[in-house]
Structure 1
């Protein structure tokens, strides 16, 4: 099973439980606390991802760390991840869980990558166009990346729409490379 399929399976199970218990926001916030704590603490991360440390030892440490900060449901979920040795998927599970929550609430998160910061007017136009196309409330997350040269890259879930000049130049280069030398008049 591929990494994102594994994460989706676990996030869906937790999402269904959260929905049933009316605790979606609480679960997402607690998953975020755990994920951020792990990612910000190098020693904790090394311990958690070390293959020779048993799941039981990992559970004891995480029980100590998080028992007062998260619900029993999230703590039990974390223990299941440890038992199944799926701890490396915690960030992907949080991302998938958030996407499921957003979908449930009619929200679509779109990452917009541009070479320069977009003007407020352009952001508004892009947001309105995406609302009209999708019917969802849009959350734009902007990132500036000068190496795309110009244009935009939109990331919507697993889909990428690459309208960057860099991408166009790469496609042009591929087409030039495919031209036989005899056709170049050399």
Structure 2
């Protein structure tokens, strides 16, 4: 969850995006910008270094992003760099995404399995979660071999754990309580 500063900056960008009817485009581009910063952490470090002038930082932003992202998003990046808030960009992007998902009845679901799921099983899980939540589902899957089998599904603040690891732990706890 983003902090209050990140949420306020994200809200201002979100309102501009809605005014232009480009909230989805801004979301995609904002995520792409964050991906650049994740792949090139030195780039973000340059933008957060106090000894580098604000004008130089803004020139770098223009060179890298101008013509590739919406002009208001570029202005937003230049503003948060000028205000010394660019280090909060990941929280801002998360807050923007949460606003977009809320307004469009989208829920993010994370599914962790012991082995990769087939495309058919992934679609079946997505359909089931759509039925359960009544919302469009963005399904993120990952693999954790330590689960041994089964699945762990996280929706909002709820977790449904049917993994073999958890079931074996519960069984061991029950046996320990019975013996003790």
TM above 0.5, yes or no, is yes
Q: Tell me which interval the TM-score lies in, with the shorter structure as reference length.
A: 0.7 to 0.9
Q: Report deviation, 1:27.
A: 1.6
Structure 1 residue aligned with 2:159: 161
Q: Following the alignment from structure 1 to structure 2, what is the Cα–Cα distance between the partners of residues 112 and 14?
A: 30
Alignment gaps of 5+ in structure 2: none
Structure 2 residue aligned with 1:27: 26
Please list the CA deviations of residues 63-86 of structure 1 after superposition, one character each: whole Å capped at 9, or x if unmatched. Answer: 232222223311221122113322
Paired residue secondary structure (2:132): helix
Q: Following the alignment from structure 1 to structure 2, what is the Cα–Cα distance between the partners of residues 69 and 121?
A: 35
Provide closer, same or farther for how the CA distance between residues 36 and 171 of structure 1 changes in structure 2, counting only shifts above 3 A: same
Q: Following the alignment from structure 2 to structure 1, what is the Cα–Cα distance between the partners of residues 171 and 53?
A: 52
Q: Report deviation, 1:130.
A: 1.8
Structure 2 residue aligned with 1:133: 132
Give RMSD over aligned pairs.
3.2
Structure 1 residue aligned with 2:87: 88
Please say which of residues 98-107 and 19-28 is displaced more in the overlay: 98-107
Q: Report deviation, 1:175.
A: 9.3
The residue correspondences of 1:26-175 to structure 2 (distance < 5 A) are 26-120=25-119, 122-157=121-156, 159-163=157-161, 164-167=163-166
TM-score by length of 2: 0.76
How many residue pairs end up in the alignment?
178
Q: Report deviation, 1:113.
A: 0.9
Alignment gaps of 5+ in structure 1: none
